A and B are shown apart, each in its own frame.
Chain A
Amino acid sequence: MLVSLKWLSQYVDLQGLEPEVLAEKITRSGIEVEGVHHLSQGLKKLMVGQIKEIKKHPDSDHLNICQVDFGEEELSQIVCGAPNVAEGQKIVAVRPNGYVSGKKIKKGKLRGEVSNGMICSLQELGIEGKVVPKKYADGIYVLPDDTPIGMDAIEALGLDDVVLELGLTPNRSDAMSMLGVAYEVAAILSEDVKLPETSHKAATEKAEDVLKVRVEAPTINPMYTAKVVKNVKIAESPLWLQQRLMAAGVRPLNNVVDITNYILMEYGQPLHAFDYDALGTGEIVVRLAKEGEPMTTLDGQDRVLNAKNLVITNGKEPVAVAGVMGGLDSEVTEKTTTVVIESAYFDGLSVRYTAKDLGLRSEASARYEKGIDPNRIIPAAERAAQLLTELAGGEVLSGSVVFDELDKTPSKVIVSPDFVNARLGMKISLNEMVSILNRLKFDVETANGRLYIDAPTRRQDIKIEEDIVEEIARLYGYDEIPATVPVSEAKAGGLNSYQAKRRIVRHQLQGSGLYQALTYSLTSDELSQKYALETAPTTRLLMPMSEERSTLRQSILPHLIESVTYNVSRQQDSVALYEIGSVFLGKTEEGLPKEEEHLAAVMTGDWLNNAWQGEQKKVDFFVLKGILEALFAKLDLTDRVKYETAVVDGLHPGRTANIILDGTRIGFLGQLHPAQQKANGIKETYVMELNLEAVLAAPIDPLVYVPVPRFPSVSRDIALIVDRTTKAADIEAIIHKAGGKLLKDVHVFDLYEGEKMEKGKKSVAFTLTYFTPERTLTDDEVVAAHDKVVAALTESGAELR
């Protein structure tokens, strides 16, 4: 909402406040002022002049040499390129060494001809092109004939004004009008509001005699009024009216339309003007449109209506879409002599639906949607009639044609000062509260120590006690509220077990060299199930903004891999990222997708790079597996997690493992398939994704101290030649089984698959550790246990090296 302070001061005394000071007061007490625009900024030495003589520029076919009278002894020569320049015009010129748009205009020559300044268009004076009257849109602005020559043009154009730009929240529809803003400012400044003049002469002929109104949809159109004005002379509006509209961001058109727009801005009441003769029936019928009913709106668009659209008809066909836009056929034109002024109440939801449906959001529909003041419907129409007599020479027929079933009673709120103070944590007296409500022009009475309030109907947002709390607080000042903390029973806050463990997982992974990444939950249909640990029916947006963000992911990896590509293509060859986030699988009973929190990681490039020491190691499967093993150790899951060779779509078939927790597959890790690596423009990359919820749900044993060994352990190495496909984990299992109670630990310390090995074979070597906490083991005990291991291995087909 753009608020001209000149205009505003017609209704409320602004006490000579600096615009910035006023803006700050408004912001602090309720409505955010988003901008303070001084219209004369960047303008200097602008003067009204009259073009006395024009001749063509000898060296140009579009420039004219004008002799301009500024009321000085001599005429001033100005070269002008505007197509609409003509002798006799009163124009605005910037004089030599003056400024327009902050730029200095000097005396100079245009193609050899002296030019003492410049004749200006409104755009050059800082007025937005979209609000400049069409007539002057492509040329200079022409002032009314009675404008005095030599006058300061900033004043003549009303640019000695400041416009406040209000950022309105949806509840403050009352401030979508100058009067509403006036009430707000008056409350802040403790001033009165001066209402506009609405009285006017009326003809003896009655409006009812020439027009009938019938409403067939009274629930969504509970009030419809029409005034009829005869002998209207369509013309350009007076300058002051055009200035008001332009300052408010509305393009002036002609006096009748401008008056309806002016009232819209002044009262917040949308009006519509029909050409009475074009209606043709002397009748207005408001009804719902028929399904598929055609109509051409003011903007020249052919529309197809549906049965939810409310229309104004002439009894036969639609002449306007109620509250949204008029029809082309009944538009006020230069030939119009009799106009019908509609002032009505249309249901906000209905207007909202139709405006959205037709893609027609207008100043009028915006106000209906948010709710207009039922008590301004009549005064706004009267004010329009008054202006039509004053500015368009119209004869107003007496009375209005009225259909009225609208409830116009104010909402009543009863509130006790104790309630207000309890909510705010303050001690405001009853009298202070009454005084604030009076400033707001709320009707208030006190009885039994309570406030009985009739909220004015312009404030549709005031309905309950809490609304009164807010009104009192914002005008009393939020700065006055003390700072306290809730008085409540002391309860320890904290993370739940899942949240706490998840943080540990994050810290562990970060300590292992991975950066935490964050990617989008929405992806393309194509990527939504790629590399997914588990798939289920996907969830798609009704109206995606792009295919790329259309479907909810079932796997985190595709976006993480994209992040690797992003980094690698920016010379970051070593990348290690993890992400914790939801994937969306099928549907739950509640009808929502099943959200499951997953952990995914990607690694590529160097794992170790101490170049000057000649050490370099690329990330491989076992780097990532080691990180996972450390994570599982942290979560007390080491003995419960197994790895099995696996085939996962998009991963290297020989370098992929499923992660099995207590017999259930909860994730996988492996190398990205070389074809996928190539497609993503990256080198050897390892990935993993697991169901974090499953991992963190596993119960953890209490930590109990195990005595530090008092007796030594005995180690024995064993080297075996086995088939290349034999799994280390299987050999380990055989060793564990055969080793018995004394065998405490087995681990691989060497692997050889080189050329010295027979084809299809490999050598694996283990260190076995024997130990008992009770005593030092004898040689015989160790030999006995070890022999059993050797026998079991030999039996399994392994060859001792």
Chain B
Amino acid sequence: MAMIEQLTQLKKEVVAKVTAAENVKQLNEVRVAYLGKKGPITDLLKGMGKLPAEERPKMGALVNEVRAEVQQIHDVRKAELEEKAIQEQLEKEAIDVTLPGRSVNVGNAHPLTRVIEEIEDLFISMGYEVAEGPEVEKDYYNFEALNLPKGHPARDMQDTFYISEEILMRTHTSPVQARTMEKKQGASFKIICPGKVFRRDNDDATHSHQFTQIEGLVVGENIRMSDLKGTLDIFAKKMFGEDREIRLRPSFFPFTEPSVEMDISCFKCGGEGCNVCKHTGWIEILGAGMVHPNVLSMAGYDPKKVSGFAFGMGPERIAMLKYGVDDIRHFYTNDVRFLSQFHRIEE
């Protein structure tokens, strides 16, 4: 029975070693040493040939039983150790999730572009095309075609940079309207014209010799002043909030008749009066009017048959009001600390 004892002894030994193994590698060594082809259990099986034939099956079964038992203890231990190894690795891999993420370089549009694009898109959704024209213009398109003949007192309203007697830096985007009408040759159309304009002004907190404008023009049969009012109402609500009200005040532009200025109810105080609206409850946003018949006929339209409306506004003013910018020069100095503030979206 020496073999049985040997077997029991062996089992004890293996169990002790399996239990003692601290990691999968040590456990593997134990497995190879005891359960491997050169291990003592295999030796025992090999040594069975020396046993009497009637003992062999019993002994064989016993060895196999021990072997299976040892194998199972080994497997359990292995699972435990693997689990432990994973835990250790996870602990080692833990990071401080509060550290900053890897930054991605992202820039953004200029605030004036942001305003202009918002206006463009709004009018595009109402069927307008975007029209553009040169920054250097002929006196004809900038003034004469807009009912501002040479010597007209209203030319004083816009101090002009002349390049020659007939060529100038455009003082408004209205020449694009004149050019578009000429090109459309009598057809009806809706356009919105953004662009840079120039006036003889010293640059300070509220003046800039270069600034931007965006104008709209609708020409067609039966265009009414009520259409202008309705269009501006949609614009004001989309741009400044659904609860905005608009009001029209009489004004004067040589290229429109009647001419009006549009105020919106103050978006900051809702009309109660605050410093944004200078305590009036209203903020002046744009000038507009019905296209002057002289302007239509100079561009080849018959003012008896077609009519139109036009409106124009300053993106600088809108951006200053909307975002509370206090100095127009910010738009042209390109301070990154200014520009980067216009990155995020708004409701």
Decide if A and B are genuine partners. Answer: yes
Asked whether A519 and B161 contact (CB < 8 A) given A478-B247, A484-B226, A488-B220, the answer is: no
- Asked if B324 is an interface residue, CB under 8 A from chain A, the answer is no
Asked whether A466 and B290 contact (CB < 8 A) given A29-B250, A425-B224, A518-B112, the answer is: yes
Asked whether A486 and B250 contact (CB < 8 A) given A516-B339, A566-B334, A591-B138, the answer is: no
- Asked if A506 is an interface residue, CB under 8 A from chain B, the answer is yes
A8–B159 Cα distance when bound, in Å, is: 34
Asked whether A469 and B153 contact (CB < 8 A) given A572-B336, A576-B105, the answer is: no
* A471 nearest CB across to chain B (Å): 9
Interface bits B219-230 vs A (CB < 8 Å: 1, else 0)? 011111111011
B258 touches A494 (CB 8 A): no
- Asked if A514 is an interface residue, CB under 8 A from chain B, the answer is yes
Max chain A CB contacts within 10 Å: which of B105, B117, B226? B105
Q: Which residue of chain A has its CB nearest to the CB of B257?
A: A466
- Asked if A464 is an interface residue, CB under 8 A from chain B, the answer is yes
- Tell me the A577-606 residues at the B interface (CB within 8 Å): 577-578, 581-582, 584, 590-593, 595
Q: Which residue of chain A has its CB nearest to the CB of B212?
A: A518
Q: Name B218's contact: one of A470, A479, A486, A582 (CB within 8 Å).
A: A486
Please indicate the chain B residues that have their CB under 8 angstroms from the CB of A544 in the complex: 161
A515–B252 Cα distance when bound, in Å, is: 39
Pick out which of these stretches binds chain A: B41-49, B64-72, B118-126, B268-276.
B118-126
B113 touches A492 (CB 8 A): no
* B209 nearest CB across to chain A (Å): 6
- Tell me the B107-136 residues at the A interface (CB within 8 Å): 107-110, 112-113, 117, 120, 123-130, 132, 134-136
Asked whether A541 and B161 contact (CB < 8 A) given A470-B258, A552-B136, the answer is: yes
A519–B332 Cα distance when bound, in Å, is: 5
* A538 nearest CB across to chain B (Å): 11
B332 touches A496 (CB 8 A): no
- Asked if B346 is an interface residue, CB under 8 A from chain A, the answer is no
Q: Name A607's contact: one of B105, B134, B196 (CB within 8 Å).
A: B105
Q: Name A483's contact: one of B154, B233, B250, B307 (CB within 8 Å).
A: B233
Q: Which residue of chain B has its CB nearest to the CB of A499?
A: B130
Interface bits B124-168 vs A (CB < 8 Å: 1, else 0)? 111111101011111000000000000101101100011110110
Please indicate the chain A residues that have their CB under 8 angstroms from the CB of B247 in the complex: 478-479
Pick out which of these stretches binds chain A: B12-20, B55-63, B84-92, B96-104.
B96-104
B102 touches A495 (CB 8 A): no
B260 touches A486 (CB 8 A): no
A521 touches B196 (CB 8 A): yes
- Asked if A359 is an interface residue, CB under 8 A from chain B, the answer is no
Q: Which residue of chain B has its CB nearest to the CB of A482?
A: B226
A517–B110 Cα distance when bound, in Å, is: 6
A593–B292 Cα distance when bound, in Å, is: 30
- Asked if A481 is an interface residue, CB under 8 A from chain B, the answer is yes
Asked whether A570 and B335 contact (CB < 8 A) given A466-B293, A592-B134, A592-B167, the answer is: yes
- Tell me the A537-580 residues at the B interface (CB within 8 Å): 539-545, 549, 552, 560, 563, 566-567, 570, 572, 575-578
- Asked if A422 is an interface residue, CB under 8 A from chain B, the answer is yes
- Asked if A612 is an interface residue, CB under 8 A from chain B, the answer is yes
Q: How many A-B residue pairs have CB under 8 A?
A: 248
- Asked if A28 is an interface residue, CB under 8 A from chain B, the answer is yes
- Tell me the A520-547 residues at the B interface (CB within 8 Å): 520-522, 539-545
B336 touches A348 (CB 8 A): no
Interface bits A242-286 vs B (CB < 8 Å: 1, else 0)? 000000000000000000000000000000000000000000000
* B314 nearest CB across to chain A (Å): 14
Interface bits A462-498 vs B (CB < 8 Å: 1, else 0)? 0010110110011000110111111111111111100
Asked whether A510 and B134 contact (CB < 8 A) given A486-B218, A516-B339, the answer is: no
A75–B187 Cα distance when bound, in Å, is: 85
Please indicate the chain B residues that have their CB under 8 angstroms from the CB of A678 in the complex: none
- Tell me the B202-252 residues at the A interface (CB within 8 Å): 202, 209-210, 218, 220-227, 229-231, 233-234, 247-252
A170 touches B249 (CB 8 A): no
- Asked if A509 is an interface residue, CB under 8 A from chain B, the answer is yes
Q: Which residue of chain A has its CB nearest to the CB of B332?
A: A518
Q: Name B224's contact: one of A28, A353, A422, A563 (CB within 8 Å).
A: A422
Please indicate the chain B residues that have their CB under 8 angstroms from the CB of A30 in the complex: 250
Please indicate the chain A residues that have their CB under 8 angstroms from the CB of B332 in the complex: 518-520
- Asked if A27 is an interface residue, CB under 8 A from chain B, the answer is yes
Please indicate the chain B residues that have their CB under 8 angstroms from the CB of A431 in the complex: none
- Can you identify 13 A-B contacts, CB atoms within 8 angstroms? A370-B153, A426-B226, A466-B257, A486-B218, A487-B227, A493-B127, A494-B130, A503-B117, A515-B110, A518-B110, A520-B332, A541-B161, A612-B100
List 6 A-B pairs, minimum CB-CB distance, nearest first. A425-B226, A513-B105, A425-B224, A169-B252, A470-B258, A483-B230
Q: A170-B156, A487-B227, A549-B209 are in contact. List 8 more A-B contacts (CB 8 A).
A: A170-B157, A352-B151, A469-B290, A503-B117, A516-B109, A522-B169, A572-B335, A591-B167
